[in-house]
């Protein structure tokens, strides 16, 4: 049977890859890499550097163009479903055409494969060829954010909520919320003077940006820094914690 590894490689710092992940890299015969376009060459380059640094056995790299989600679609759920179908068809072709029986393939996934990453759900749609699956956990951007700001994610006796940016407006009574995938900067619409924000972008990398303070005082600074960074690099990965003081 064919075997597939989903390897969490952390949010960007090459030193944050785990020993288990390095061992897993050296089990793979084929690495599947999705090319997201010139604007995100940094993400592709880091994956290749990790392989060059840590893999000591012969391997093959299969690089393919990643299907793009229609970010302007009015039906968000429908657009994501269509994107997942395209990716599932691509993954099925890769497993069929590029991985021989008895071989081990691998995807290198940013952060933690089980937290706001779609690969596991997409692979559920791939019925053929048959393959076994193993997930190697990684450090998430949420952990990296807390470490960079030197804070504990949870407070005593309180829950921690994690949600995507598009759901922030639906959240009532924000007390301790981590927000990911907030391309529309939903935090900027909040006007609660009691909220404190811990924001970070490109966490763990040489380009890391950190801002923290009362939301009403620093949100304009975050918006400006975010726009400048995105214009400079062509992409941005950021996350933040909102906490009621």
Residue after which a domain boundary falls, among 113, 139, 165: 139
pLDDT at residue 73, as a whole number: 73
- Residue 42 and residue 233 in contact, taking contact as beta carbons nearer than 8 Å: yes
CATH of the domain at 161: 3.30.950.10
| 71 C-beta neighbours (distance < 10 Å), count | 9
CB-based contacts of 173, cutoff 8 Å, min separation 6: none
Chunked into runs of 10 residues, the chain (245 residues) has average pLDDT values of 96 92 97 78 86 95 86 78 91 96 96 94 92 97 97 93 93 90 95 96 94 98 97 93 94
- Residue 104 and residue 125 in contact, taking contact as beta carbons nearer than 8 Å: no
Q: Do 204 and 183 have their domain in common? A: yes
* Radius of gyration over every alpha carbon of the chain, rounded to an integer in angstroms: 19
Residue 193 CA, chain-centre distance (Å), reads 30
The domain in which residue 232 lies consists of 142-244
Phi, psi of 38 (to 5 degrees): -60, -30
pLDDT at residue 37, as a whole number: 66
Residue after which a domain boundary falls, among 79, 107, 139: 139
Q: Do 174 and 189 have their domain in common? A: yes
Q: Do 135 and 46 have their domain in common? A: yes
Residue after which a domain boundary falls, among 139, 163, 185: 139
pLDDT at residue 39, as a whole number: 58
DSSP string, 53-121: HH--S--EEEEEEPP---TT-S-HHHHHHHHHHHHHHHHHHHHHHH--TT-EEEEEESB-TTSS--HHH
Cα–Cα distance for residue pair 26/23, rounded to 1 Å:
5
pLDDT at residue 149, as a whole number: 98
């Amino acid at each position: 049977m064919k075997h597939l590894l989903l390897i969490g490689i952390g949010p960007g710092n090459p030193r944050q890859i785990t020993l288990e992940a390095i061992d897993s890299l050296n089990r793979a015969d084929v690495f599947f890499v999705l090319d997201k376009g010139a604007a995100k060459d940094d993400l592709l380059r880091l994956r290749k550097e990790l392989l060059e640094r840590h893999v000591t056995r012969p391997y093959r790299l299969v690089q393919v163009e990643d299907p793009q989600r229609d970010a302007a679609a009015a039906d968000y759920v429908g657009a994501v479903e269509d994107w997942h179908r395209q990716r599932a068809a691509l993954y099925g072709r890769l497993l069929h055409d590029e991985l021989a029986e008895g071989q081990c393939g691998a995807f290198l996934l940013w952060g933690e494969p089980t937290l706001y990453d779609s690969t596991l759900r997409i692979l559920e749609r791939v019925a053929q060829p048959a393959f076994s699956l193993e997930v190697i956990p990684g450090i998430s951007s949420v952990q990296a954010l807390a470490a960079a700001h030197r804070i504990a994610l949870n407070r005593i006796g309180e829950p921690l909520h994690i949600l995507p940016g598009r759901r922030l407006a639906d959240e009532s009574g924000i007390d301790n919320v981590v927000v990911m995938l907030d391309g529309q900067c939903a935090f900027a619409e909040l006007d609660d003077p009691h909220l404190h924000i811990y924001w970070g972008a490109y966490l763990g990398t040489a380009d890391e940006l950190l801002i923290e303070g009362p939301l009403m005082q620093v949100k304009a600074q975050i918006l400006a820094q975010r726009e400048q960074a995105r214009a400079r690099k062509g992409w941005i990965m950021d996350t933040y914690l909102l906490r009621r003081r």
